Copies of this chain bind each other. A is one copy, B any other.
Amino acid sequence: MRFINKIKNIQIRNNSLLCIGLDSDIEKIPASLRKSKYPQFEFNKEIIEATKDLVCAYKLNLAFYEAAGKSYYETITRTLDSIPKDILTIADGKRGDIRNTAEQYVKNLFDDWHFDAATVNPYMGRDSIEPFIKRKNHGVFILTLTSNPSSHDFQYLKAKQKPLYEHVVTKAIHWNSNDNIGLVVGATHSAELKRIRSMVPNMPILIPGIGAQSGDLKSTIRYGFNKEGLLAIINVSRGIIYASSGNDFAAQARNTAAEYRDKINYYRNPFFK
């Protein structure tokens, strides 16, 4: 199935634009799970089981799994196996390298693990992203305007009257012949998000920065979705997966995820002004 249709289908079916970020830190998961062989997987499995009817996507932050050492490969493999096939899976590793290396990343993320999509960094330009884009049934989310405070260091530099991040948008439009490119725009920049959505009316936009990073949910939703009320993917990580540090973590993750989904739906109601 085409990448963009997979997103729309699950957003309609689960009536949700919510993505849960599985930034599962081995030091923050309940002590009772740490005895098992793959603690991050056990944690993820329970979160997924408790929230899979409330989300359109799960995003795995690869750094947190790499930091856990040798369980890395098996933890990601098992986590992906426990996600229903109609939900979008995003490998968040912000990769980017010369072509022959980018091909190795694709081999790992798309061929071996079968992630639907990956986040990539635009700094090195088209040839570093092309091996990802070539895969028509997979997608890439190109870092455009990130949610962190230091996004101002380079992303706002103006060249030819346009900030760098707008140059990234323009190139992304130009490269999108397979209709499988999305953008990453942080929720901490809602005015810019509005402008970017006007430039890409039909591209998926992955929006992190809600919750722990305190981006504004209301304007993020209003400016993020397309005319059908779809294609914004609102990511919340720590705010949901660590809603409770006790053994009720999965139930509390469900409660918090349901609240986020409902708030998002409230703001995307076409009658809401």
Residues of A within 8 A of B (CB): 23, 25, 61, 63-64, 66-67, 69-70, 72-74, 94-102, 104-105, 107-108, 112, 121-128, 143, 146-155, 157-160, 164, 167-168, 171, 213
Contacts and interface: CB of A to CB of B under 8 A. Distances in A.
A153 to B, nearest CB: 3
Contact of A96 (B112, B121, B126, B167): B121
A84 to B, nearest CB: 24
Contact of A149 (B23, B127, B157): B127
B112 A67 contact: yes
Given A94-B124, A127-B148, A128-B150, 6 more contacts: A63-B101, A66-B108, A122-B154, A123-B155, A125-B151, A157-B167
B124 A150 contact: yes
Contacts of A149: 125, 127
A138 B135 CA distance: 37
Contact of A64 (B104, B121, B148): B104
Residue of A63, A127, A147 with most chain B CB atoms under a 10 A cut-off: A63
A66 B104 contact: yes
A170 to B, nearest CB: 10
A158 B102 CA distance: 27
A119 to B, nearest CB: 9
